Amino acid sequence: MSEIYVSWSEYYEKIERLAVKVYQADWDFNQIVCIAKGGLRVGDILCRIYNQPLGILSAASYTGLDNRIRGPITFSRHLAMTTAKLGNRILLVDDLVDSGISLQ
């Protein structure tokens, strides 16, 4: 896959457009969980827009020199969150664009 350069302003604009699409879907969620590291910024911005608590699930799949070699994905055992309980209607957030293997 060839790489595409996206400026920070374009990146934030895409996140805002994603927020609009989520809003238009009229789905009622009470928790946002992002898969870090890729989905961390997206999750942070969406939780601020929607005023919902953010949970963070860490994942790693890149190894080698400069972390450019994809290996098996490893998830953390625990979810980091600031609320006592996890919501029951969760919006799961990951990278805007990557391999898509996190949910497989």
* pLDDT value for 72: 78
What is the three-class DSSP state of 41? Answer: helix
> 66-84 burial string, b = 16+ CB within 10 Å, else e?
eeeeeeeeeeeeeeebeee
pLDDT (tens place) for every residue of the chain, 104 residues total: 677 888 999 999 999 999 999 999 998 999 999 998 888 999 999 999 999 999 999 887 766 676 666 777 788 889 999 899 999 999 999 875 555 555 55
Contact present, 54 and 47 (Cβ < 8 Å): yes
pTM of the model: 0.78
In three-state secondary structure terms, 9 is helix
pLDDT at 97: 59
pLDDT value of position 15: 92
Note the pLDDT of residue 1.
Answer: 60
Domain residue ranges in the chain: 28-93
